[in-house]
């Protein structure tokens, strides 16, 4: 098949990294893939690095207005026909609803993966738009069972959705062969790490507030990997708590795996998640994880097996779980081994690609 992967975002996140991993896995299984995007720098760099064919879509002005979005959809589908695309796979709400009319009119099979909940919760009426996409023969995919249940209730008179887990393979990681991370001396410190865009939804600032005294009174380091609007507030809090020698803001990184390999514990306190690629990568790196009980997190972390789950905003439970793991190296080791095993068996890119190929085969012309 000749498959188009389409994403409309300007950011770097789980959906973007999953699109690249899926494209690589599909090519490895003998399919042709072209990535379509609006000059997303991360997507552009990743495609160049891995030799993935890509197209910068020239109709961005039409895409940015609800008045002209349907004209965009038609022109975009004509572009897909020009490249002899057999099936379009769109990622995120905007891409799905921006493409469905044209694919319906031009009879291009359309698959849409929903990676999150918060995007549709920003405005009313988005469930109705997804229902229109379904009526136009778009097959919707969720990345967790929890998300599937949400959308089945959120979309009016919803048609059947499917769930396909995101995948990550350590041996295929774009950063697996990076040089060891040596920028910060670890010495004997237990290193805690969190990876993700620094936004209020991810609650990195709250994590720092909850752990500041524990970090101060123990041989600990906390690493934030990612960038975003919360960067300044987090740095100010680090300065205020005099933790500059123990808490580090690393910004966006291309060597995430190398950094994860130096860590001991992964944490994520998000208010909302689809199926976190950051957690999966941490699991594949052999880390125990302490995560909030939201979205697909409970499908990744089995409480007291490969980490801990704490109720959202339950700071006391979060703190006690962190304390337990920092003082229990054997438990960290056992949980980390379980994480790696689960990642390899359930959340691999090969498994993900095979499930998508089954969907493509069902809907292709």
**How confident is the model over 240-277, as pLDDT tens digits?**
999 999 999 999 998 899 999 999 999 999 998 888 98
Closest CA to 200 of 272, 147, 265, 119: 272
Measured in residues, the chain has a length of: 365
DSSP assignment of 134-161 equals HHTTEEEEESSHHHHHHHHHHSTTPPP-
**Extents of the domains making up the chain:** 2-167+348-363, 172-346
- Stretch 321-338: mean pLDDT: 97
Quick check: helix, strand or coil at residue 313? coil
Is residue 51 within 8 A of residue 20, CB to CB? The reply is no
Q: Which residues contact 186 (CB under 8 A, 6 or more apart)?
A: 221, 262
pLDDT at position 123 is 80
What's the CATH number of domain 172-346, 3.40.640.10, 3.60.21.10, 3.40.50.2000, 3.20.20.140? 3.40.50.2000
Percentage of residues in the chain having pLDDT higher than 90: 84
pTM of the predicted structure, to 2 decimals: 0.85
| CA-based radius of gyration for the chain | 21
Q: Report d(CA 347, CA 42) in Å as an integer.
A: 23
Of the candidates 278, 350, 279, which has an alpha carbon nearest to the alpha carbon of residue 308? 279
Pick 2-167+348-363's CATH classification: 3.40.30.10, 3.40.50.2000, 3.40.190.10, 3.10.20.600.
Answer: 3.40.50.2000
**3-state secondary structure at position 61:** helix
- pLDDT given at position 178: 62
pLDDT digits (tens, 9 = 90+) for 195-240: 999 999 999 999 999 999 999 999 999 999 999 999 999 999 999 9
- CA-closest candidate to residue 87, choices 141, 11, 142: 141
Counting Cβ atoms within 10 Å, is residue 147 exposed (0-12), middle (13-18) or buried (19+)? buried
């Amino acid at each position: 098949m000749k498959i188009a992967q389409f994403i409309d975002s300007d950011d770097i996140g789980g959906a973007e990294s999953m699109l690249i991993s899926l494209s690589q896995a599909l090519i490895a299984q003998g399919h042709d893939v072209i990535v379509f995007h609006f000059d997303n720098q991360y997507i552009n760099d990743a495609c160049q690095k891995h030799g993935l064919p890509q197209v910068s879509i020239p109709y961005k002005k039409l895409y940015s207005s609800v008045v002209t979005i349907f004209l965009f959809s038609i022109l975009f589908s004509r572009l897909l026909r020009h490249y002899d695309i057999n099936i379009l796979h769109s990622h995120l709400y905007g891409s799905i609803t921006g493409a469905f009319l044209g694919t319906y009119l031009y009879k291009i099979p359309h698959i849409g993966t929903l990676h999150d909940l918060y995007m549709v919760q920003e405005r009313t009426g988005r469930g109705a738009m997804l229902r229109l996409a379904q009526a136009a023969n778009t097959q919707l995919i969720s990345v967790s069972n929890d998300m599937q249940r949400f959308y089945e209730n959120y979309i009016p008179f919803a048609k059947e959705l499917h769930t396909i887990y995101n995948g990550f393979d350590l041996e295929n990681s774009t950063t697996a062969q990076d040089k060891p991370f040596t920028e910060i001396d670890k010495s004997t410190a237990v290193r805690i790490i969190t990876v993700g865009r620094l936004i209020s939804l991810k609650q990195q600032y709250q994590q720092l507030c909850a752990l500041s005294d524990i970090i101060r009174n123990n041989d600990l380091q906390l690493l934030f990997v990612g960038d975003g609007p919360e960067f300044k507030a987090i740095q100010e809090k680090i300065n205020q708590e005099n933790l500059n020698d123990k808490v580090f803001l690393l910004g966006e990184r291309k060597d995430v795996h190398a950094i994860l390999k130096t860590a001991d514990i992964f944490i994520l306190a998000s208010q909302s998640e689809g199926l976190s690629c950051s957690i999966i990568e941490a699991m594949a790196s052999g880390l125990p994880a302490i995560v909030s009980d939201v979205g697909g997190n409970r499908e990744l972390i089995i409480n007291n097996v490969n980490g801990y789950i704490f109720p959202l905003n339950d700071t006391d439970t979060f703190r006690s779980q962190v304390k337990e793991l920092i003082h229990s190296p054997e438990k960290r080791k056992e949980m980390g081994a379980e994480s790696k095993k689960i990642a390899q068996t359930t959340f691999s890119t090969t498994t993900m690609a095979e499930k998508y190929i089954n969907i493509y085969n069902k809907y292709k012309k």
